[in-house]
Structure 1
Amino acid sequence: MNYTVNSFDFLIVGGGVIGLSIARELHKRGGRNIGVLERGHVGKEASWAAAGMLSPDIEADLGSEFHRFCRRSLEMYPALAEELKGETGIEIELDRSGTFCLSFDDDDSLREIYARQIEDGVRVDLVSSSDISKAEPSISQSVCEGLFYQSNWQVENRKLLQALRTYCELNGIRIFESMPIESLMIESGKVSGVETADSRIGAENVVIATGAWTSLIKIAGSTFPVDIKPVRGQMIAFKPEMRLIRSVVHSSQGYLVPKRDGRILVGATSEDVGFDKVVTTEAVERLYSTAVKMVPALDGAEIVDSWSGLRPCTEDKLPVIGEFPGYKNLTVATGHYRNGILLAPLTAVVIADNLIDNVSFRYAFAPSRFLGETTAASV
């Protein structure tokens, strides 16, 4: 075992959108001597594979604490986009064209959703097939009706990751790549650092933001007590000669996300296959069929890219964010499943609130819910 000379005030394990956002927020709040450890390449796992949708009113149960948390994080994006442009010169392409959720059959489910959301105060419009055709002429004429969310947006997640990494590099935050950790070191009830295959790195505070790989980490040789399962999501992309849609389009079978560079992303599968990231012919064909059903003009278009990512999923499909009971100076920010891009800004703020300002963080999705400790839930 080689002992490194590195020791950090704040050591963040995991270099995806969550880990990088936390590193930036800690630095902006006065934290220094910050390190980020990434098992592979920074920002090239689930965060890179995402579509960049910011859709709390589609992804989260209405009226829940989680929905409120998602909404608060979404509302931070305009300021975040402006700040990152000023800090790094990188435009993260926040697109506020809105999001359609469409029905291609005659059931009443969308109307039921609309009624519940109106009652809950969600800004949503029930739109007819003719209104949809006026707004998005390329949408299939078989569409029956839809919901339109003006305040559900999207961002170019790969440029967001580029901006976050650039911020770290410009501000002396050290990034270590190809460095998977094996275990957390514990001394006198406190995390003293992390062990890799050939080194130990000391830390005053450790943040676990390792996504789908969280459960592989050991604490003093024992299994990590929170189970995070990888869920594979496969996607494809077209790049048609002309812009066919301007808003994000959801249906029960999938979604289309138009990007500023002309690509249309199509997603996504949800597969329990362990850490297998293979892109399958079956999935590509199904995604192609979904895209053509929603936008017939894509029939015959070339698929210019296909990829997959591993979403970190907990048993209840909610994230794990907050202080880790039983271990001083250990904080967790993982399990964001389908909402890592959406939740990155607020996750970073509440982690920094705790580590910099000593503000207690005890939401219903804190780590203690898996460890038999009752938490108070309020946002």
Structure 2
Amino acid sequence: MNQDIDILIIGGGISGLLTARELQMAGRQVTLIDKSDLGREASWAGGGILLPIYPWRQAEAISDLVIASLKSYPTLSRELHDATGIDPEWRPCGMLICKNPDFASAIRWCQNRNITYQTNPTALLENLNTDVDQPLWLPDIAQARNPRLLKSLKAFLLRLGVRFIEQAEISAVEINHGRLTNIKTTQHHFKPAQVIVCAGAWTSHLLNIWLPQASVQLPIEPVRGQMLLFDAKPDTLTHMILDGDRYLIPRRDGKILAGSTVEQAGFEKVTTHEARKNLFNFAINLLPDLKNYPVCEHWAGLRPGTPDGIPYIGFHPDIDNLSVNAGHFRNGLVMGPASARLLADLILQRPPAINPTSYALNR
């Protein structure tokens, strides 16, 4: 079946869904396809912390997207909940960071980015077992419950008229005169005006197949992360905790996530006994109350890693109607709204709110 379509988005994670929202609400007609089920990869598997891990240690380009996105989430969450009845569980529960050897940099970042902070949060440390180093309390930092956010976004976009095609792996593409003119799956044959790749860890794999002689090769690689979920009772933990490179995240129903690993394992999305043991020991050592609750889930996801953590957002230099929004590593949710808006600004030729130079594919 040949289909002339306006915008084809490839990839149904948080980046693809939010990009579809921006463009559909601007009056474009979006079709979104995914090789499996929508929202079942890194966007589903992550913790949902709406702050990068130690953002003061990362590039300013990351913080620019983060701060713009943080301002969007309260309204976005309310909009999705009101329209669909599905609560994304955006919750400003706060984050306690136990170890801050670069304390001066942390305070400077908070001040420059207008992030509320408190030092010496003694009361929050009472039930924890850890060696603190200049702890920092960020009371306004929020989380979103990834699966529910994705579910509400999908329902919202269906109401807007976005077309979803799942279990649709691309089998061939055709390029003529510097444009993607045909994209084929087993059951569909698309002739899109615009193509956007939001395929997460699979982005470079797709582009390398389509464009083996391209002038840019995006260094987006899969980075495996594993998580545990404890079936705890409500109020066992009321806020997020970051201790070293691992964290605990309490959900509204009481369940507590412990994460996460950072593993170079290719596209092997499997769980391991070693990671389970390490995450379990971290969690029960940091919060001894967790010894009273069973682990109810253990899963893995593949993040789209880049060398500096900065995503690629913009037009492909070789193909007129091809653009990319991918490579957010651990921060797809927290950079998602601003990333989608930036790409939409470029496609719709609106003045961008954020300078796109840092995210260009040929940077």
With normalisation by structure 2, the TM-score equals 0.91
Counterpart in the other structure of 2:302: 310
Match of 1:342 among 300, 325, 334: 334
AA aligned to 1:26 is: L
What CA deviation, in whole Å up to 9, does each residue of 1:138-182 have, x standing for no partner?
323754541111232111111110011112222221111111224
Is the Cα contact below 8 Å between 1:124 and 1:149 reproduced in 2?
yes
Alpha-carbon shift at residue 63 of structure 1 (Å): 7.2
Match of 2:26 among 3, 21, 29: 29
Structure 2 vs 1, CA of residues 114 and 11 (structure 1 numbering), >3 Å: closer, same or farther?
closer
Counterpart in the other structure of 1:333: 325
Counterpart in the other structure of 1:86: 82
Distance in 1 separating the partners of 2:90 and 2:65: 19
Alpha-carbon shift at residue 193 of structure 1 (Å): 3.3
Match of 2:63 among 67, 79, 83: 67
Distance in 2 separating the partners of 1:35 and 1:20: 11
Structure 1 position 195 matched with structure 2 position 184: yes
Is the Cα contact below 8 Å between 1:56 and 1:71 reproduced in 2?
no
Distance in 2 separating the partners of 1:186 and 1:359: 29
Alpha-carbon shift at residue 27 of structure 1 (Å): 1.1
Distance in 2 separating the partners of 1:119 and 1:95: 22
Where do 5+ consecutive residues of structure 2 fail to align? none
Where do 5+ consecutive residues of structure 1 fail to align? 370-379
Distance in 2 separating the partners of 1:26 and 1:168: 11
Alpha-carbon shift at residue 62 of structure 1 (Å): 6.2
Is the Cα contact below 8 Å between 1:38 and 1:179 reproduced in 2?
yes
Structure 2 vs 1, CA of residues 57 and 217 (structure 1 numbering), >3 Å: closer, same or farther?
closer
Structure 1, 111-120 or 149-158: larger mean CA deviation: 111-120
* Matched residue SS, 2:241: strand
| Residues matched between the structures, number | 358
Match of 2:8 among 11, 21, 32: 11
Alpha-carbon shift at residue 60 of structure 1 (Å): 5.3
AA aligned to 1:299 is: K
Alpha-carbon shift at residue 115 of structure 1 (Å): 4.3
Is the Cα contact below 8 Å between 2:234 and 2:252 reproduced in 1?
no
What CA deviation, in whole Å up to 9, does each residue of 1:79-101 have, x standing for no partner?
11111122222211111121110
Distance in 1 separating the partners of 2:279 and 2:106: 27
Match of 1:264 among 256, 259, 271: 256
Structure 1 position 176 matched with structure 2 position 168: no
* Matched residue SS, 1:207: strand
Alpha-carbon shift at residue 359 of structure 1 (Å): 4.5
Alpha-carbon shift at residue 118 of structure 1 (Å): 5.3
Is the Cα contact below 8 Å between 1:25 and 1:349 reproduced in 2?
yes
Is the Cα contact below 8 Å between 2:65 and 2:339 reproduced in 1?
no
Structure 2 vs 1, CA of residues 201 and 219 (structure 1 numbering), >3 Å: closer, same or farther?
farther
* Matched residue SS, 1:276: coil
Match of 1:206 among 195, 207, 228: 195
Distance in 2 separating the partners of 1:63 and 1:37: 32
Counterpart in the other structure of 2:119: 127
Distance in 2 separating the partners of 1:198 and 1:222: 23
